Chains A and B, each alone.
Chain A
Amino acid sequence: MSASTHSSVLKHHFDNLEQQHSAERLGMWMFLATEVLFFAGLFGAYTIYRIWFPEAFEVGSSFLNWKFATFNTFLLVTSSLTMTLAIRAARLGNQKALLWNLIITAILGTAFMVVKGFEYAEDFHESIVPGSLFGGHIKQDSIDRGIDTGKVQLFLVFYYVMTGIHGIHLIIGIGCVLWLVQQAYTAQIPPENYSTVEVVSLYWHLVDAIWLFIMPLLYLAGAGLKSVH
């Protein structure tokens, strides 16, 4: 038992910190593999339907607001930078920088969700919703182009499910970062325990990376579409 100086950090069932950190890292990487498979089901289904109904997906996509999405992409990529800076600060023992980088990360993630909320509100306002609420310009435009409105709704199901599940993941991520903020504020993240920050950051980056796939698939699929009016 080498639990001498780091007893507050080293958990009882590990022999040493190296073993503990590598177990934590491996565990998170395996969880990320799980997450990738979770989204793979969605992306796989999306791919199939997009191959079957390319025109309907282009029309559906052309009605989504790419400006919100681009701004959100900027927010998330920046948050990944501050998250990484937080690991560095934790490792160097710079508690103040650690705290601030974590707070900025949480704010950027929250800002993403706020923007997303405005976007959803706008979508609902313009009836860009599958099911019984479907209507407005998107329905008229599909009919004008001679495209089955059902398949446009299929695209919109993907839009809401993909962004919705991504949003839930991001909210969980924000929760984890806020937990780190609390830990850092009460000085419970000494340099030898920096792996806690690193493990959360792995998750955060994955949520970020998934957005980098979702964004072009949903918002840019209809970028080349010419207006019929």
Chain B
Amino acid sequence: MSTHTAASPVAAPPPPEPAPAEPNYLNVSYSIWSWLTTTDHKRIGILYLVSISVFFVVGGLAAGLVRLNLLTPTGAIMTEDAYNRTFTAHGVLMLFFFLIPAVPGVFGNFLIPMMIGAKDLAFPKLNLASWYVFMLGAMLAVWAVLAGGIDTGWTLYPPYSSRASTSNVIPGVMGVFIAGFSSIMTGLNIMVTIHKMRAPGMTWGRLPLFCWAMYATSLIQLLGTPVLAITLVLLMVERAAGVGIFDPAIGGDPLLFQHLFWFYSHPAVYIMIVPGMGVISECLTCFSRKNVFGYKAIAWSSMGIAVVGFLLWAHHMFVAGISFYSALLFSFLSMLVAVPSAIKVFNWTGTLYRGSISFQAPMLFSLGFVVLFTIGGLTGLLLATIGTDIHLHDTYFVVAHFHFVMVGGMVLGYFAALHFWWPKMTGRMYSDWWSRIASVVIIVGFFFTFIPQFIMGYHGLPRRYPNYPAEFQYLHVMSTAGSSILGIGYLIPAVYLTLSLFYGKKATGNPWSATGLEWQTPSPPTTFNFDYNPIVVCGPYEYAIGVDQLGRGLPKPPGTEDGTTPPSPDSPLNKETKVVG
């Protein structure tokens, strides 16, 4: 590993290179028991990774069934009732057991202590408890959706959910309620860790943008989740006791449920997307070899989204019978939250501008994120406008909009994170060529799946119905075909990432030549992350002068002339990168 710029004084001894015999957090012990009782934040991150991957597969299979059923106008494979239960299963599993814990549970846990130079999160036992609580909630919910299912949609509106539905509402709601505590525990742990555990020199202004994004996310988790918890308690009481405060028969107001539900569930979409934005800020900067453009603007816009995001929940209720004046206010506030999001996109573009861009898989996923998130965000404005929302409300346009943000944005962000930090987490490099192919397949499949849904929704096709007029069939077929491509796109990484664990090249400590503290450790890191007390002397993205946060020179980035790890030098794509780099 050569250092080509050594302008700054050496602030700490160089990190040891990984050797086979070197102890790390993975090989320190092998028993199942050592994993189930670990308090190491990295191992807990892996536990989350394995479990949410399972829920992603189950939720994805449910989505596949929904798409298959929509192949014909009268439902191709299942009854109306089964269809309701399937799309509810997809929604509940994907939202509560994949998207919400995905980045905070896996990468928040794994990376936050490493990025700020700490040995662990502030409360390691609480962290382990959060995983067990999560699994308990997930087991209940998965059992509820598989053994009979829930037919209310993930939004669980009463009085249908409290009186009419005969499905497994209480176990499912209980599962979501319990998993909420895990979300609170993770958020609390991360916030306290960022406040109290930063290494000397790691000022708030030197915090990596991923940490800022996770801080904003944790704030929402901390303040939003309890409101959902009490709402779900009230719903369960009403269903179990037959009497409750949302029951119109005794003067209760079902709209109050919607208000309380969306008070959490709208900010929850920022729990899902803001961590992805943090990931993107890291990847775009690293693979542009440029200092990030507008550090403060990106950091503060995360906080802006967290705060403003709490004030616009009722835009989900424009046609539910809220007053015209409150709709006006919520419409205005919904447009306001587009401002910090747009600030981010502007700054990402500014970061890319005139950068030395190379197209490794994390970068491809990140670029996909920026494009798809922007489309998702701009179509959101049509839904925030009261007039157009009355036309588009509860149509496929809404479905396409939030899938552009949640899948096009967040799932790509998650994949970017997975590919960016995979060498750090496992110590192995995955196939460069296959990972690029996978990113392209996923993005293409995604477009084919959801662009037709924009068109159907614009023409007024309502969501959640198993039947539709025959004139929409070609669009539904196109969407289902796209989702098959998307499914294949998800399978490819499952294969090459698994293979990389056994056959992948050994990763160096800093394979991407990135600046963050987490890269200044061996791959995989040791149990306590740092063998020395790191002292931070630089901002997080000093790519222009080529020094990491410890003030030492960076290794050559991959793909350059004497790059340290071009993973497969004979691949055709790699040659292109050489030209670009």
**Contact indicator A27/B122 (Cβ below 8 Å):** yes
Bin chain B's interface residue count: 35 or more
Interface size on A, residues (CB 8 A): 39
B243 and A38 form a contact (CB under 8 A):
no
A42 within 8 A of B: yes
For residue A188, give the distance in angstroms from its CB to the closest CB of chain B: 16
Task: Please determine whether B197 and A131 come into contact, CB atoms closer than 8 angstroms.
Answer: no
Complex: A26 Cα to B193 Cα, angstroms: 10
Complexed CA–CA distance, A219 and B421 (Å): 57
Contact of A30 (CB < 8 Å), options: B121, B222, B224, B243: B222
**Interface stretch among B46-54, B55-63, B227-235, B285-293?**
B227-235
| Bound CA span A44–B126, Å | 30
User: What total count of A-B pairs have CB within 8 Å?
Assistant: 110
Contact A38 B195 (CB under 8 A): no
Task: Point out the residue from B121, B227, B252 that lies within 8 Å of A38, measured CB to CB.
Answer: B227
Q: Check B245 against A45 for contact (C-beta < 8 Å).
A: yes
Contact B233 A165 (CB under 8 A): yes
Residues in chain B near residue A132, CB distance under 8 A: 242
**Does B192 lie within 8 Å of A30, measured CB to CB?**
yes
- One of A13, A22, A131, A157 near B118 (C-beta < 8 A): A13
Give CA–CA (A70, B453) in the complex, Å. Answer: 60
Chain A interface main SS type: helix
Query: A62 to chain B: closest CB distance in Å?
Result: 18
CB 8 Å contact bits of A53-65 with B (1 = contact, 0 = none): 1001000000000
Which residues does chain A contribute within 8 Å of B121, judged by CB atoms? 13
Q: Which of B126, B237, B256, B533 contacts A157 (CB 8 A)?
A: B237
Question: What residue in chain A is nearest B227 (Cβ atoms)?
Answer: A41
**Contact indicator B249/A150 (Cβ below 8 Å):** yes
- When chains A and B are docked, how far (Å) is the Cα of A150 from the Cα of B246? 12
- The answer to whether B192 touches A26, judged by C-beta atoms less than 8 angstroms apart, is yes
How many angstroms between the C-alpha atoms of A131 and B233 in the bound complex?
Answer: 17
CA distance A87 to B128 in the complex (A): 28
Complex: A151 Cα to B225 Cα, angstroms = 29
Q: Which of A13, A150, A153 contacts B120 (CB 8 A)?
A: A13
Can you list 23 A-B pairs, Cβ within 8 angstroms, ordered by A? A12-B528, A13-B119, A14-B197, A23-B122, A26-B192, A26-B196, A27-B189, A33-B223, A34-B223, A38-B229, A41-B227, A41-B263, A49-B251, A49-B252, A52-B251, A150-B249, A150-B250, A150-B251, A153-B250, A154-B252, A157-B243, A161-B233, A161-B234
> Residues on B close to A: CB < 8 A?
118-124, 126, 184, 188-189, 191-193, 195-197, 222-227, 229-231, 233-234, 237, 241-245, 249-253, 256, 260, 263, 528, 533
